[in-house]
Homo-oligomer: A and B are copies of this chain.
């Protein structure tokens, strides 16, 4: 199998490195005979920390897409424009494509996957969700006898790191974000991580694989963690909860999907509450297995590269279980409007809120805020109730 890697950023370099170091072991274990014919990046004159034949380096990705010897194109440049063009052209040239690009899969999955099917090519993206954690393969293959009814997890390591540091080291959001950036966990523009977008991409992908249809990403309810303060972390802890950015979806009997990525007050006894730092964990509920949970490093050069390589080996050994059911591009999964659903909520509001006039009960006053726990109420109702207050934070409780 001849492979072209396009994009030698963190993950791309990881794939190149592991294939250089482990090629013989991978062949011994799987029989797969892998050869990286091209490794493409704009910046190829730099130093690499491992040995490989530099002749494979190129700046011209078109050479890879047009070379009839190339079986697998690994797209790791990220972004949504050139990356998408590369993937579409590779598929239309009858090549298999592997990516770790969750934004692309979540937003353009139906179009890309249709092109893959039309060309009898495979399009795999194990690394797009959960980094090094095995999740797509086990969810598809090991749970194949099950109807999957619910998926829930911590799918963004950066925001989990920030929430962990806020809780453990009493840092406020800005300080914790700054620390995350220093540690290399947060990008210059952290909005994908802290606004729930990245976790939203991932739950959209998993749901599209699980429920026999596809999720329109714009229908995922998103709420970020920017407005969470130390007061909230402290109040949650007093109540026996942790605040976690949880991506989740469930499908009801009418095939309607409730899907979101949002901060949640989660009971401390729950396993997900104990997932800290940059770790991810994803819980999948199957009709026969019940809940299974997958935990590990959700990002990083080597874990993510390891997942990319598992996709390469699956293609090389012809062992992909594939059908129109998974990410079914012909069947749009309808979603429910989460704003209308009644839940229990934690609310912190500034004191200009007219508590007396409302039917809500005060749980506590702290600093300049009222803390309110409201049951059996919808976001729409809450938004109306708190429409005119200066400051408010509303977080779901489970």
A interface residue numbers (CB < 8 A to B): 14, 18, 22, 25-26, 28-31, 126, 132-134, 137-138, 140-147, 271, 274-275, 281, 286, 288-297, 302-303, 305-307, 309-310, 313-314, 317-323, 325-326
Q: By the criterion CB–CB under 8 Å, are B310 and A144 in contact?
A: yes
- Cross-chain contact B145 with A309 (CB below 8 angstroms): yes
Are A143 and B310 neighbours in the complex by a CB distance under 8 Å?
Answer: yes
Specify which of A133, A142, A281, A305 lies most central, judged by the most chain B CB atoms within 10 Å of its CB: A142
A288 surroundings in chain B (CB, below 8 A): 14, 18, 132, 302-303, 305-306
Of the residues B22, B275, B290, B319, contact of A321 by C-beta under 8 Å: B319
**By the criterion CB–CB under 8 Å, are A271 and B292 in contact?**
no
Taking CB atoms, residues of chain B closer than 8 Å to A145 are: 18, 22, 25-26, 305-306, 309-310, 313
Q: Which of A14, A132, A145, A288 gathers most chain B CB within 10 Å?
A: A145
8 CB-based A-B contacts, threshold 8 Å: A31-B322, A141-B313, A142-B307, A145-B310, A146-B306, A288-B303, A293-B295, A318-B319
Q: Which of B138, B281, B321 contacts A138 (CB 8 A)?
A: B138
Question: A22: which B residues are within 8 A, CB to CB?
Answer: 145
**Residue on B with the closest CB to A25?**
B147
Report the separation of the CA atoms of residues A299 and B362 in the bound assembly, to the nearest whole angstrom: 45
Name the distance in Å between A146's Cβ and chain B's nearest Cβ.
6
Which of A140, A292, A313 has the most C-beta atoms of chain B within 10 angstroms of its own C-beta?
A292
CB A255 to nearest CB in B, in angstroms, measures 14
Q: A306 and B319: CB pair below 8 A?
A: no
**Pairwise interchain contact B295-A292, C-beta atoms closer than 8 A:** yes
Is there an interface contact between A134 and B292, defined as CB atoms closer than 8 Å?
Answer: yes
| A313 (CB) vs chain B CBs: closest residue | B144
Report which of B26, B146, B297 forms a contact with A144, defined as CB distance below 8 A.
B26
10 closest residue pairs by CB, A with B: A134-B142, A292-B296, A134-B138, A319-B319, A132-B289, A293-B295, A288-B302, A145-B309, A288-B306, A29-B325
**Measured between C-beta atoms, what is the minimum distance from A115 to chain B in Å?**
21
Find chain B residues with CB under 8 A from A26 CB.
Answer: 144-145
